[in-house]
Amino acid sequence: MTASPPIIRRFAETDADAVVALWQLAFPEYREAGKPHRDPRLSIANKLATQPELFFVATRATKIVGTVLAGYDGHRGWLYSLAVAPDARRLGIGTRLVAHAEAALAALGCPKVNLQVLPGKDDVLNFYDALGYRSDAVVSLGKRLAATQADAATPAS
């Protein structure tokens, strides 16, 4: 007997606790108190303030078993926080979430989707490879603006 397909829908605020629990399970770095930029509740609040229509959850029997966030800036689309509960993996849920997010981005006119994968996650890279994602010849750079703002507010000695 095959598992019934998940229902993919837009995130609702009542999903927050279940999403935080899933993210803390799927992304160990979300449990690190020393990384406030990895605070799952802050990530949810920020997403709800910016394109909340691109925040999706997958449910099976009313339980949240997956998430994906998408974003589109008019030039490129991005995928973030694709997570599937360990007991629901290998059932096609991640693939369905990615396809759902891609369709939502395509409907907005998005020509290309980008994503980032942390080093050492070969299983994740293999998953995306199977979906047609390829490594781009680019270097990803980042800058924490909150830290920069705090540094700028501190008078020089």
Q: All domains of the chain, ordered by start, with CATH?
A: 7-153 (3.40.630.30)
Q: What is the pLDDT of residue 16?
A: 97
Distance from the Cα of residue 112 to its chain's centroid: 16
Structure tokens at 64: 């949240």
pTM attached to this predicted model = 0.87
Residue 150 — very low, low, confident or very high, per pLDDT cuts 50/70/90?
Answer: very low
Mean pLDDT of 30-56: 88
Neighbours of 134 (CB within 10 A): 7
Structure tokens at 76: 């490129």
pLDDT at 60 over 90: yes
Q: What is the pLDDT of residue 3?
A: 66
Distance CA(85)–CA(93), nearest Å, equals 9
The helix (run of H) or strand (run of E) holding residue 114 is strand 113-114
Of 144 and 85, the structure prediction assigns the larger pLDDT to 85
In tens, the pLDDT along 90-118 reads 999 999 999 999 999 999 999 999 999 98
Question: What SS3 class is residue 155?
Answer: coil
What rounded mean pLDDT belongs to the chain?
89
Question: What SS3 class is residue 46?
Answer: helix
Distance from the Cα of residue 106 to its chain's centroid: 17
Residue 82 — very low, low, confident or very high, per pLDDT cuts 50/70/90?
Answer: very high
Residue 149 — very low, low, confident or very high, per pLDDT cuts 50/70/90?
Answer: very low
Q: What is the pLDDT of residue 18?
A: 98
